[in-house]
Amino acid sequence: MLLEKMTFGEVQAALSEGRRDVVVPCGAVEQHGRHLPLDVDAVHAERLGQEVAQRLGTALVAPTIRVGVSPHHMAFPGTVSLQPATFEAVYSDYCRSLAAHGFRTILCFSAHGGNFAPLAEMEQRLDDLVGPDCRVIVFADLNGLIETWRTAVAEAGGNRDDVGGHADVAESSVYSYIRPGEVRTGHLARGYTGPVDDAVLQRLFTGGIKALSDTGVMGDPHGFSSAIGELCVQRVADMIAAHFAGRMQAGGRGT
């Protein structure tokens, strides 16, 4: 399933067998409070890519684009951020390469909120780039992802109001599930815990997270668990896979 773990002969055989769908996950390397490592979004994206591909049944998974668009986290040391134009250039080269090898549907999603708007904005250009025999489909519903986290957290026995979208109970649980023992439990701290709507997200992405939270956290990580994390991963993978499957079934090009 993982393109980078296959030989070129194995990829060639998969294409010959009709496996012409490929998932391209992207994440970020950025601060996630004092209790989570910088690689949270990259690790999350990599796992979601595999989960989504398994649900689709036909897809391979391209190497995760690990660094994303994170200028709103640059006030915190260690964050690495791409310019939107650089991010699009990397995605363009990925899509161009994959289309040249014979993949016919390229499925793009992010586990980092800052990548959602750039991905949505570049979708048509990526689709045009790969030509008439290939399609690029983007998942970019950030509000839907956060709401899915809230529902999953509540179902698993947590407090849905602690979900703020960044280093919160959901994301801390996801990392605990994927990387057991790596959450710095002695450094848990809550951050911004007000409503997360379009206005708040706009303030976050334009003014930086420090305009909302000195801790670098949106929400509250207390009460995290690997059980909550597992459910969050499964529910988000279900949502992304359903979006891709619906778009693939509908046919046509563009959004």
Which domains can be identified in the chain, with CATH numbers? 3-141+236-250 (3.40.50.10310), 143-233 (no CATH)
Query: pLDDT tens across 207-246, in order?
Result: 999 999 999 999 999 999 999 999 999 999 999 999 999 9
The continuous run of DSSP H or E covering 136 comes out as strand 135-138
Looking up tokens 């790596």, which residue turns up?
A: 182
Q: Indicate the pLDDT class of residue 252, thresholds 50, 70 and 90.
A: low
The span from the CA of 149 to the CA of 191, in Å, is 17
Query: pLDDT tens across 140-156, in order?
Result: 999 999 999 999 999 99
Choose among 87, 86, 100: nearest CA to 129.
100
Query: pLDDT tens across 82-103, in order?
Result: 999 999 999 999 999 999 999 9
178 within 8 A of 232, measured Cβ to Cβ: no
| 20-42 mean pLDDT | 98
> For 97, which DSSP code?
H
159 burial (CB, 10 Å; 0-12 / 13-18 / 19+) is: middle
> For 157, which DSSP code?
T
